[in-house]
Structure 1
Amino acid sequence: MALFSDSSAADAAGQADGLPRARASAVGIDGAKVAGFVREALEAGLDLHAVMLHRDGHVAVDAAWWPYRTDTPRVMHSVAKSVTACAIGLALAEKRFALTDKVVSFFPEHLPSVVDDKLAAMTVEDLLTMRTGHAAETSGALWRGSDESWIAKFFGIPITHPPGGAYVYTSAASYMLAAILSRTTGQTLHDYLKPRLFEPLGITGETWDIGSDGINPGGNGLTFKPVDLLKLGALHAQNGVWNGQRLLPADWVARATRAHSEGGYGYHWVVRPDGSYSALGLFVQMATVFPEAGATLVVVGAIDGSEKIAPFIDRWMPQAFDGGSPQGDAALDAALADLHHTRPLNSVRANTPRLVDGVTYRLEDNLVGARTVRVDFQPDACVFTLVDASGEHAITAGRQTWIAGVTDMPGRDLHHGYALQGARVLAGAEQVNETTTRLTWIFPDTAFRDTVWCRFEGERLTLTRTVNVNSSALAWPELTGTAERSLEQK
């Protein structure tokens, strides 16, 4: 269901996540304006996966396009930063440390042999506002998977400007906030927040990666549901109060969500000139709060840059809170009518699958470390198996209907550094022409969708793998291989 009345589906959704549902018009939302936002974003080619809208204690829009859902886990990337900010606000209220405390004071064992004046001057607040004095960003993908101390890595980053000055976005600052919290509380960031934030909000099943120092990264690595992201935004829209219980200090919410630099950055919240503010993750995992309207918009997708969705939010959303009508509800119903339309799988007739079925191809040396590939064609499925130094990895794709499975198929370099171990995957196989099979792997808990082209020509296989969005490479180098036994034996 995308819009809600007194239906059993709406009741079931509300019972599952604890959020009451309502029609958009019932909470003063113009559904026609929301429909305009969705329609124009899709017409512009933006890959929306889910949209949710909350106001006056009710979810008015809960929309997810096939095969995505709002009630299943999602890798949220830098949304984690805004969650980390909640922990810092709570720890400050508990007097665990102060905004003016120096970062070097917490980790004497990790300091370089010479601590210059700029490093010595950096404070907790400088980390929160991303005014560390660093010259460039340190992406979360850069340290992910490293066994070295990330704290020591942070202290090794050159400081070129006095801290507290220029704003430079960097996940390294968020990591150090998590490290400071762990040092002063004796708990991981995740464990600290569990009883203070996650449990009161009814957030369950969330996970948070652990870095080499036994510390949650702070700036990334958090996986929870889109509806949980909605709760984070709604909590701030309600000035830190949830179901009558104060979870965050009101003064903290106010300070965290106002700009502290020309870059429009708060305390790990992105603040916009109109006063709205966002928890924002890579590829647009976003909760935007409109404080004057008391409303929260969640957008989850696979979009290369939030600047691509921002014009549509600006055009449609502020005026969407001027009041609703049954006609607006009907317009939104119509805009969301095709949410669950399954993408069809289309194949041409070809002999190639029969000829190459079960043949192992020995790959030439390549940069991704793949050794062999085998494709097994079954009447209704296609099993792709790749072998590398870590072992055998397989995905079963449906030839008539999509097949859901779990995989550890390598591809960290295409997925912003995430290995996706035990990842859910939805896979489909299509015969494009006489020589080419196309595999599509959708990882519904992420923004990523991979396309693999297998071209069989005689004894040779040419393999191309691409991804829809990424922070770096969008494709593997082309892989080529030779059949280990002659196809004439088939």
Structure 2
Amino acid sequence: MSVGQKKEDELPLRILRSGLEVNSLVLLRGGRTALEWYREPYRKGVPQLLYSLSKSVTSIAVGIAYDQGLLTPDDPVIGFFPDKMPLLAERSEYLPEMKVRHLLSMTAGHEGDIYPAVVSQRDWAAAFLAQSIERTPGTHYRYSTPSTYMLSAIVERVSGLNLVDFLMPTLFGPLGIAKPVWETCPLGVTAGGMGLSLPTEDVAKFGQMLLEGGTYRGRRIVSESYIRAATSEQSDNRSGVPAERTDSAQGYGYQFHLCRFGAYRGDGSFGQLCLVSPGHDLVAAANCAFPSMAKLQTLLNWIFELACGEEIVAGKTTGADVRTAEAAGIYGTAENGTFELPFEPNVLYVVDDNPAGLRSLALKPTASGFDLTFDYGDGDERSGKLPFDFARALEAESVFVKDLMRHRQKVVTSVEPSSEDPAGRRLKLHYIETPYVVTYTIRPAEEALLVRFEINVSFGYKSYEAYARRS
């Protein structure tokens, strides 16, 4: 390391050189920012979809409601939903035994994955209560996003407010977090277990509040006793976890995974992270695009290496090293500032049937690039125009999915050659509020264009090919 350089500064270069798909990373040591890094084109202040990291925020909402006397962990779940109870003959015998603490600790008693059965219905709470419960609540760990949804629904019922409005004066506001977007079920109840978006630096603030035992800058947010309970082992999550994912087999608290070294974390799909390590006086917040959550263990290992004082990577590192590494492969550049395109301007290309429902494409030249119009049919909010520049990336807005819903969101566009066909072009779309990076590869085919769609991470289809023909 160079003189005056911190060990934390080595971590971004190690991430970039390894190809680990980390988009943003904030480290706090002793309550101060030790590292704040964003891979291009991601940046500070842009909300990031947290997926299941939302669960940990919902847990704190329950703790705040408990502190206010609105509920207790031992309250029966059915007591909050007298209007949604299944018929007596269809009611699981264990349902009356299910308590709030069982929802918090993922021990509601379900053996299987009830998520598809619950979210396929309009009324998620009624669907949850109608599910078969095979185990005595409190005896069997089963990770369950619908359980966290029920916690959100309970807080909304006892407070009379939606979850975001409940948390604005009690959590988000005191932490200096602007009112966030949090997705909802079809009836408008906050999803709880998913769908919250926060900037990376705000996730770090949340982690610092946890580290300080429920206070932030001297203000009490949630009781220290609740933090202790939430971050202590309440259920055993060790069964079936691969040996290489050691920090996912250390026990489970109230919507927090316990880790080595007395640390704990909230996490979400594709590697969203809020890690708190009291023994190291450390908070780490990250947003990633991991195709496998096994890669989260790699990131955790590196953070713990740093926290324990081990060297991160040998050799001298400079800011220029990081900038060079992160720029490599992000955007293509056009020779002489222009590309020949495989499709004709001002011509409508009708796209064959495809999983996305894309109907047609049309290109209109601009001074330094082109606008590409995507048409998904009448009334489809995804239809619209995106700008592309031959020499640089452009930022625009487009409608694309987040967790449960489509949202108008920021997207960074770029164009580059196709590695497969000299006549083809790759159009890249970085949806910088999510992990999603979409690539359209367009190349000429006989009397048509061949369009290939690819997305780096997804819960659904990850690619398709379709021909596009002149109308």
Task: Check whether TM > 0.5.
Answer: yes
Pair 1:332–1:318, CA change in 2 (3 A):
farther
TM-score (norm 2): 0.86
The letter for the 2-side match of 1:89 is: G
What does residue 374 of structure 2 align with? 386
What does residue 309 of structure 1 align with? 296
What does residue 132 of structure 1 align with? 108
What does residue 369 of structure 1 align with? 357
What does residue 466 of structure 1 align with? 454
2: CA distance between counterparts of 1:116 and 1:76?
Answer: 33
CA deviation profile, 1:333-367 (whole Å, cap 9, x unmatched): 57645477473423479996386112112223333
Please tell me whether the aligned partners of residues 112 and 156 of structure 1 are also in contact (alpha carbons under 8 angstroms): yes
TM superposition shift of 1:78: 1.3
Structure 1 counterpart of 2:32, from 40, 58, 62: 58
2: CA distance between counterparts of 1:449 and 1:88?
Answer: 34
2: CA distance between counterparts of 1:272 and 1:40?
Answer: 23
TM superposition shift of 1:92: 0.9
173-182 or 422-431, which deviates more: 422-431
2: CA distance between counterparts of 1:281 and 1:38?
Answer: 21
Pair 1:351–1:189, CA change in 2 (3 A):
closer
Please tell me whether the aligned partners of residues 353 and 359 of structure 2 are also in contact (alpha carbons under 8 angstroms): yes
Please tell me whether the aligned partners of residues 352 and 434 of structure 1 are also in contact (alpha carbons under 8 angstroms): no
TM superposition shift of 1:219: 0.8
Pair 1:272–1:434, CA change in 2 (3 A):
closer
2: CA distance between counterparts of 1:354 and 1:337?
Answer: 32
TM-score (norm 1): 0.83
Alignment of 1:77-476 (within 5 A): 77-113=51-87, 114-138=90-114, 143=119, 148-263=122-237, 264-315=251-302, 317-318=304-305, 320=307, 322=309, 336-338=322-324, 341=327, 343-347=330-334, 353=341, 356-389=344-377, 390-391=379-380, 392-408=383-399, 412=401, 416-419=403-406, 421-432=407-418, 433=421, 435-475=423-463
SS of equivalent to 1:207: coil
SS of equivalent to 1:478: strand
Alignment of 1:68-83 (within 5 A): 68-83=42-57
Equivalences, count: 446
Pair 1:176–1:339, CA change in 2 (3 A):
farther
The letter for the 1-side match of 2:113 is: E
CA deviation profile, 1:186-213 (whole Å, cap 9, x unmatched): 0111111100111111111422122222
Please tell me whether the aligned partners of residues 140 and 172 of structure 1 are also in contact (alpha carbons under 8 angstroms): no
The letter for the 1-side match of 2:125 is: I
SS of equivalent to 1:274: helix
SS of equivalent to 1:201: coil
Please tell me whether the aligned partners of residues 463 and 479 of structure 1 are also in contact (alpha carbons under 8 angstroms): yes
CA deviation profile, 1:10-36 (whole Å, cap 9, x unmatched): xxxxxxxxxxxxxx98xxxx933x355
The letter for the 1-side match of 2:164 is: H
TM superposition shift of 1:446: 0.9
Please tell me whether the aligned partners of residues 16 and 326 of structure 2 are also in contact (alpha carbons under 8 angstroms): no
What does residue 244 of structure 2 align with? none
2: CA distance between counterparts of 1:352 and 1:242?
Answer: 55
2: CA distance between counterparts of 1:141 and 1:461?
Answer: 40
253-262 or 146-155, which deviates more: 146-155
TM superposition shift of 1:68: 0.9
RMSD: 3.0
2: CA distance between counterparts of 1:236 and 1:442?
Answer: 32
Aligned residues with identical type, % of pairs: 24
Pair 1:455–1:437, CA change in 2 (3 A):
same
Pair 1:416–1:185, CA change in 2 (3 A):
closer
1: CA distance between counterparts of 2:426 and 2:315?
Answer: 40
Pair 1:474–1:47, CA change in 2 (3 A):
same
TM superposition shift of 1:457: 2.5
What does residue 31 of structure 1 align with? 6
TM superposition shift of 1:157: 2.9
CA deviation profile, 1:198-232 (whole Å, cap 9, x unmatched): 11111114221222222111111111111110001
CA deviation profile, 1:258-314 (whole Å, cap 9, x unmatched): 121221211011111431111211111111111112210122211133431323433
> Gaps spanning 5+ residues in structure 1: where?
1-23, 485-490
Please tell me whether the aligned partners of residues 118 and 124 of structure 2 are also in contact (alpha carbons under 8 angstroms): no
Please tell me whether the aligned partners of residues 37 and 312 of structure 1 are also in contact (alpha carbons under 8 angstroms): no
The letter for the 2-side match of 1:127 is: L
TM superposition shift of 1:125: 0.6
Please tell me whether the aligned partners of residues 31 and 332 of structure 1 are also in contact (alpha carbons under 8 angstroms): no
The letter for the 2-side match of 1:407 is: S
1: CA distance between counterparts of 2:332 and 2:306?
Answer: 40
CA deviation profile, 1:36-63 (whole Å, cap 9, x unmatched): 5444443332111111111222111111
1: CA distance between counterparts of 2:124 and 2:409?
Answer: 26
Please tell me whether the aligned partners of residues 131 and 165 of structure 1 are also in contact (alpha carbons under 8 angstroms): yes
TM superposition shift of 1:129: 0.6
TM superposition shift of 1:388: 1.9
What does residue 48 of structure 1 align with? 22
2: CA distance between counterparts of 1:256 and 1:449?
Answer: 35
What does residue 14 of structure 1 align with? none
TM superposition shift of 1:461: 2.1
